């Protein structure tokens, strides 16, 4: 596979990104690349952030395929600045002042919902968390009913997670606000893929095109895998899919990524091993003999990781099942684990998405 770097993703058709929709404003914002300028004063960061803002190229963020490469680069440059901003003691901005952000989660979530809530509040938005799964849906309300209710509330930004694939797209056609897909069934989770890419850029440098990524584990049920395959391939990375045959989707061969059922073979020589959560709540039947057997063959431990490239990094979207998908000694090792970096990058990336969508509204687009 050549002498380049390799990233292994273990888990879940040809996937591509649209390369014809980059906006002039976005291209202008990306003209001077940002490469982690160290800044210590809040005024400097805030001023740089304002000059880097650009209108989001589309009215919604529903899929990783909504963005072409210049869009992604500009968004990650902006997120890099927000990450630096988040490390300061004063973290409040007014970029979303007067805007209402609704987190509409039909599935339980801690990381993603909390990340969007913190991102919205740091930008000055009025943030409302709606635990729909425990209220209206339990009383028989349909997604269309929920959309009608939201239209009457007149929010500006709607973050939605739903167990049904395509739910975010349906809501986007029914409401008059920007919709961000925070995970729809087994379809996509675009902000997770973007924050993973931001984490890789900070770990390996701005140009990640020489990386090969192995995505490992429960790919069948993973929206994270689908979004990451699309985004990583669009950025020039080589992607591998690794997992037991029962957890590989039937269409995996059409994703344009080599498929491995042997863990050691699949991650050999890679720069990044991306582990996925074993999503037992989505499984009807016995997909694996037992969690002990799963860890033995497809869980990441030191012995298996030794077959990756020297200096290889490990990722996991969380939440982790320790001793099932990954050994604690690896997950907690700062020399190899990027898992905490992913959490930090999540807030910054979502701030960039929210701020860019708001900027599009300000521009009247």
Assess whether pLDDT exceeds 70 at residue 252.
Answer: yes
Distance CA 116, CA 348 (A): 10
Mean pLDDT of 186-192: 95
> Which tokens in the block code for residue 288?
């694996």
DSSP 11: E
Assess whether pLDDT exceeds 80 at residue 314.
Answer: yes
DSSP 92: -
Residue 154 phi, psi (nearest 5): 55, 55
pLDDT of the residue at 14: 41
pLDDT of the residue at 34: 44
Are 206 and 231 spatial neighbours (Cβ–Cβ below 8 Å)? no
pTM (2 d.p.)? 0.86
Contacts 24+ apart (CB under 8 A), 86-93: 86/122, 86/344, 86/347, 86/348, 86/351, 88/40, 88/42, 88/45, 90/42, 91/122, 92/122, 92/124, 93/46, 93/49, 93/122, 93/123, 93/124
Cis preceding linkage at 271, omega within 30: no
Q: For residue 223, how many other CB atoms are within 10 A of its CB?
A: 24
pLDDT of the residue at 284: 59
Mean pLDDT of 258-273: 97
pLDDT interval class at 50 (50, 70, 90): confident
Between 66 and 197, the more confident residue is 197
Between 110 and 1, the more confident residue is 110
Cα dihedral value 345, 351, 353, 354, nearest 10: 160
211: helix, strand or coil: coil
pLDDT of the residue at 3: 45
Which range of 179-183, 276-280, 286-290 scores highest in mean pLDDT? It is: 179-183
Any idea what the Cα angle at residue 290 is, between residues 259 and 226, rounded to 5°? 35
Assess whether pLDDT exceeds 60 at residue 41.
Answer: no
Q: For residue 117, how many other CB atoms are within 10 A of its CB?
A: 19
């Amino acid at each position: 596979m050549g002498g380049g770097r390799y990233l292994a993703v273990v888990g879940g058709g040809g996937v591509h990104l649209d390369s014809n929709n980059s906006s002039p404003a976005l291209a202008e914002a990306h003209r001077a690349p940002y490469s982690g300028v160290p800044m210590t004063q809040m005024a400097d960061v805030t001023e740089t952030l304002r000059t880097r803002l650009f209108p989001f190229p589309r009215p919604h963020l529903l899929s990783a395929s909504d963005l072409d490469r210049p869009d992604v680069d500009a968004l990650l440059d902006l997120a890099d600045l927000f990450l630096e901003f988040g490390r300061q003691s004063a973290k409040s901005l007014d970029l979303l002042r007067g805007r209402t952000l609704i987190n509409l989660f039909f599935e339980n979530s801690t990381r993603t919902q909390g990340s969007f809530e913190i991102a919205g509040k740091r930008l000055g938005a009025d943030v409302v968390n709606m635990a729909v799964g425990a209220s209206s849906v339990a009383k028989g309300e349909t997604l269309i009913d929920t959309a009608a209710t939201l239209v009457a509330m007149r929010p500006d930004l709607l973050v939605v997670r739903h167990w049904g694939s395509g739910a975010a797209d349906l809501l986007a056609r029914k409401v008059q606000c920007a919709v961000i897909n925070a995970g729809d069934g087994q379809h996509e989770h675009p902000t997770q893929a973007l924050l993973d890419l931001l984490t890789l850029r900070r770990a390996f440098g701005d140009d990640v095109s020489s990386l090969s990524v192995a995505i490992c584990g429960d790919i069948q049920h993973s929206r994270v895998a689908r979004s990451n395959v699309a985004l990583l391939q669009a950025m020039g990375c080589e992607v591998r899919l690794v997992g037991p045959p029962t957890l590989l989707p039937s269409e995996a061969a059409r994703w344009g990524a080599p498929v491995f059922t042997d863990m050691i073979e699949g991650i050999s020589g890679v720069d990044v091993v991306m582990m996925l959560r074993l999503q037992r709540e989505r499984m009807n039947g016995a997909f694996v003999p037992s969690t002990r057997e799963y860890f033995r063959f497809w869980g990441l431990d030191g012995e298996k990781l030794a077959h990756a490239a020297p200096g290889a990094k490990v990722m996991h979207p969380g939440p982790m099942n320790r001793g099932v998908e990954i050994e604690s000694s690896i997950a907690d090792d700062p020399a190899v684990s990027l898992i905490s970096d992913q959490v930090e990058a999540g807030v910054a990336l979502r701030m960039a998405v929210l701020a860019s969508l708001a900027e599009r509204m300000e521009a009247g687009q």
